[in-house]
């Protein structure tokens, strides 16, 4: 039974791109594409499926190409040269997407394509920029998947300030014009809501409960070791979210702290030496104070260099420290138009 969306307004996006990163998912390619066609066969706007083969070592690429031959050219295959990781594969799919809306999902059949129409309807009805899936009843192993994910979700929410229950769900819907303002690296696919929040208000990011199926074919590519990479990427996300345009404040705050501690220690030791006549040459506090002062100088100079690099980055790349929601209407005005002109007194003969 085909799922159909409600009648869309004039501002509703014209097309839909479904991006599916694949790595060693040979058994899941054909069933996934079939389910997408079963769900979206009655969709009343153009849509496409972008299968990104992330350097698979099995028959994933061959099966993806067979799906193109079977279903048509709207099933597009993007083969990567080698395995770059899920984030890079997702970025490649976003780059090749042509729709005004982009849906990302896993290729292991754990995300249910039947959630896609409901999510699009919810996103449009509530005028959201991004809608993230929430696997409320997650069908994964408790120790290897659920517990690390639970810890990561709460840590990310605490650090980034974007309150979601499930950051790791790959089933998400984006407006293309916004998601392309974000460039994904490392393991950053988990932090996409946080990155999107750097260019749009968090109120425009929503969450919706979606189905989650147990894996029946293939093997999981994730383990407990991913949690350590998430922590490292979280530090990078925090830095770029808060201090991308002002890195000197980040390093300068550490420099100020260590400088204050070092100054207090050395001031105390100076009083001990010159007022009370105590010997301070063998005191550990002297070394600690000196190390703090040196660290303060290093942090402050690093902050100054970072500020210079940030200015060079924004000036050379042409990027600005702000993003305009829509193009102002007055950009098309000529130089002599759109000005208030003072009235001129004319001599009447």
Of 113, 161, 108, the C-alpha closest to 139 is 108
What confidence score (pLDDT) does residue 279 get? 85
| Ranges under pLDDT 70 in the chain | 1-14, 138-157, 159-161, 186-187, 215-231, 314, 317-349
Angle ∠(31,35,37) on CA atoms, nearest 5: 120
Question: Could you tell me the residue ranges of all domains in the chain?
Answer: 16-242, 247-316
Q: Do the bridges between strand 47-53 and strand 16-22 make them parallel or antiparallel, or are there none, so unpaired? A: parallel
What confidence score (pLDDT) does residue 339 get? 64
- Phi then psi for residue 132, to 5 deg, are -105, 140
pTM of structure: 0.68
Of 77, 73, 69, the C-alpha closest to 47 is 73
Token pair of 74, please? 């709207």
Angle ∠(119,122,125) on CA atoms, nearest 5: 150
Domain range 16-242, its CATH number among 3.40.50.300, 3.90.550.10, 3.40.718.10, 3.40.50.720: 3.90.550.10
Alpha carbon 135 to chain centroid, angstroms: 19
The packing angle between helices 26-40 and 115-125, to 10°, is 50
What confidence score (pLDDT) does residue 1 get? 37
What confidence score (pLDDT) does residue 160 get? 66
């Amino acid at each position: 039974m085909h799922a159909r969306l409600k009648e869309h307004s004039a501002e509703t996006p014209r097309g839909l791109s479904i991006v599916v990163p694949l790595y060693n998912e040979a058994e899941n390619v054909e069933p996934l594409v079939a389910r997408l066609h079963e769900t979206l066969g009655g969709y009343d706007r153009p849509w496409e499926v972008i299968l990104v083969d992330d350097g698979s070592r099995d028959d994933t690429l061959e099966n993806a190409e067979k799906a193109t031959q079977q279903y048509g050219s709207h099933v597009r295959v993007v083969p990567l040269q080698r395995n770059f990781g899920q984030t890079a594969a997702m970025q490649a799919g976003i780059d090749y997407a042509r729709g005004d809306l982009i849906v990302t999902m896993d290729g292991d059949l754990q995300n249910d394509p039947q959630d896609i129409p409901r999510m699009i309807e919810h996103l449009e009805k509530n005028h959201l920029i991004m809608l993230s899936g929430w696997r409320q009843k997650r069908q994964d192993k408790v120790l290897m998947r659920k517990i690390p994910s639970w810890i990561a979700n709460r840590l990310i929410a605490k650090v980034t300030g974007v309150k979601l229950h499930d950051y790791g769900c790959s089933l998400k819907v984006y407006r293309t014009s916004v998601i392309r303002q974000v460039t994904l690296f490392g393991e950053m696919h988990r932090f996409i809501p946080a990155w999107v929040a750097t260019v749009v208000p968090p109120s425009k990011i929503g969450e919706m409960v979606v189905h989650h199926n147990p894996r029946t074919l293939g093997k999981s590519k994730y383990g407990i070791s991913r949690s350590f990479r998430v922590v490292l990427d979280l530090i990078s996300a925090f830095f770029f979210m808060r201090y991308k345009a002002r890195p000197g404040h980040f390093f300068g705050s550490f420099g100020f702290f260590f400088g204050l501690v070092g100054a207090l220690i050395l001031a105390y030791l100076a009083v001990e030496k010159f007022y009370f006549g105590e010997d301070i040459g063998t005191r550990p506090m002297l070394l600690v104070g000196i190390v703090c002062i040196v660290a303060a100088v290093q942090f402050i100079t690093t902050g100054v260099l970072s500020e210079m690099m940030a200015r060079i980055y924004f000036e050379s790349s042409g990027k600005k420290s702000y993003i305009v929601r829509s193009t102002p209407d007055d950009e098309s005005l000529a130089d002599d138009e759109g000005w208030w002109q003072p009235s001129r007194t004319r001599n009447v003969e």
